[in-house]
Amino acid sequence: MKRKIIAFTLFFTMIILIAGCSNKESEKVTIEFWHNYSASDGQIEVLENLIDEFEADNTNIKVNQVYMEWGSLKSSVVLGSSTGILPDVLRGDIAFVPQFQSLNVLEPMSNFDDYDLQTEKVLAAPNSSNKMGDDFYGIAANTNTKILFYNKTLLNDANVDVPESLDELWDAASELSNPPVVGMVEPWTGIWNIGPYIWSEGGDVLSPDNTTADGYINSQIVIDVTQKLADLYAANALGGPSMDPGAIGDTDGWAAGTYALQLDGPWRENANIAAGVDYGAIPLPPGSNGSISVLGGENFMQFKTSDEAHKNASWEFVKFMTSKHAQVEMAKVGQMPVNIEALSDSEVLEIMPLLPVFKEALLTAKARPVISQWSEVEDIIASKVAEAITGQKSVKVALDQAAAEIDELLSN
């Protein structure tokens, strides 16, 4: 009896195993797509429709989309690099490329034969954020930069003109400040925030080859710009939660009529419309070196952990998402296209009234250095600049310390 049971069990197990091995009812490839498209702006709904269209055209591919917010998108990839649980394709911040590359998880996208053909269709500047060494580790998904938003009501009330130069911007911030109104807001003090002021005055963060900070982040130009911000902060003309955790956040502050000026991205437009703020926007008023804003946006990235079939399937999906049609659809829910044809599409222009302003700013916008230690470098800068602005240290001392710390980091 016992033997019979054992024989039967073995036979049954074998059947299951064989069935499992030959379970290839179709050659359908399911790709996992992680992203942080915003649900509140209806972007996920558009994404789902686009995926349906893509799946209808590519019957052998199924796209499994997973939403994560910015922070968990990053930490999930960090954890995944150790556990091997990674998506096939991801759409995330352009700043993720060097960080993820340092984790050794990204697959060079430029390995695809038709990569160059595809990149011809997208803006070159945003796509440069994918380049490390000779390879491109992604392709631009959508782009943005920061322009100067101003609260028309507050400017009118204080009888202040829209600034036409950086110096006028500082003056306007001072003139507008009258409690509870704070002239300007910067939610953080990283290069994302202070970079445009530095670049527009002719300064820089690191040497052109990204190997040293001394002589750049502590140059006289950066000292002068930071000093200006410190003076504004001391006069209650500049606020923001990272300098002062008790300060009201930028979105709440705009809605409450606290903040009058902010250099910010396209999301500020949506937020201001939602809050009923009467706003205007212009490219960053030029400094002595012109008007140079900072390049933002998201890229598509692929991972080493996927096999050939999944890599090819995700590349097809990426090509679809960077096509004119998908980019126009995404533009309707606030994503600024990188596809050149989509950028001049009349439908898009109608939906994004500020697009011409952003396009002008994009012509001169600068990318932050694409180096693997960038997030640490930017944290050092953010923390030292905050110390300088809030008066904990003199500007020169703080920036000299930043230069020394960054150089030590870069030399390792």
Partner 1 sequence: MKGFLRNSIKKFDWRMLVIFLPGMMYVSIFTFYPIIKMIVMSFYDWKIGFQQISPFVGLDNYKTVFADPRAGISLVNTVVYAVVTVPLQMVLGLLIAVLINGITKFSVSFRLAYYLPVITSWVVVALLFRYIFSNNGLLNYFLLDILKIVDEPVGWLSTRWSAIFAAILLGIWKGIGWNMIIFLAALQAVPKEYYEAADIDGANRRQKFYKITLPSIRGSIVFALIMLIIGAFNTYTPIAILTGGNPSHQTEVVLTWMYFQTFGALNMGYSAALSVIITMLITIITIIVFSVSARGKEA
Instruction: Give me the residues that bind partner 1 (CB under 8 A), please.
Output: 74-75, 78-79, 81-82, 84, 86, 99, 102-105, 179-180, 241-248, 256, 258, 304-305, 375-376, 379, 383-384, 386-387, 390, 392
From the CB of residue 345, how many other CB atoms can be counted at a distance below 10 Å? 18
- Pairing label, strands 259-264, 238-239: unpaired
Q: What is the DSSP string of 73-84?
A: HHHHHHHHHHH-
Our CB check for partner 1 shows the closer of 86 and 223 to be 86
> Whole-angstrom Cα distance, residue 384 to residue 386?
5
Smallest distance from partner 1 to CB 51, Å: 27
**Smallest separation (angstroms) from partner 1 to the CB of 107:** 11
Residues 250 and 262: their CA atoms lie apart, in Å, by 9
- Give 128's DSSP letter: G
Which residue's CB is nearer to partner 1, number 151 or number 258? 258
Cα 268 from Cα 256, distance rounded (Å): 14
Cβ nearer to partner 1, comparing 61 with 406:
406
CA gap 197, 380 in Å, rounded: 18
Closer Cβ to partner 1, 229 or 355, answer by number? 229
CA Rg value for the chain: 25
Query: What contacts 344, CB < 8 A, 6 or more positions away?
Result: none
Nearest distance in Å: CB 249, partner 1 = 9
Residue 261 CB, shortest distance to partner 1, in Å, is 18
What φ, ψ does residue 143 adopt, rounded to 5°? Answer: -130, 165
Closest alpha carbon to 239 in 228, 223, 250: 250
Least distance CB 144 / partner 1 (angstroms): 23
Residue 352 CB-half CA count within 13 A: 29
Smallest gap, in angstroms, from Cβ of residue 380 to partner 1? 10
Smallest distance, partner 1 to C-beta of residue 236, A = 8
- How is residue 26 annotated by DSSP? S
Alpha helices in 201-303 (DSSP H): 220-234, 250-256, 267-275
Between 157 and 376, name the residue whose CB sits nearer to partner 1.
376
Our CB check for partner 1 shows the closer of 9 and 75 to be 75
Instruction: Fill in the DSSP letter of residue 89.
Output: E
Q: How far is the CB of 369 from partner 1 (least distance, A)?
A: 16
User: What's the length of the chain?
Assistant: 412
Nearer of residues 103 and 340 to partner 1, judged by Cβ: 103
Tokens of 34: 């992680």
What's the CA gap between 359 and 341, in Å, rounded? 13
Strand partners, 279: 151
Our CB check for partner 1 shows the closer of 44 and 275 to be 275
Residue with tokens 């036979």: 11
Q: How far is the CB of 245 from partner 1 (least distance, A)?
A: 4
Closest CB to partner 1 among residues 155, 247: 247
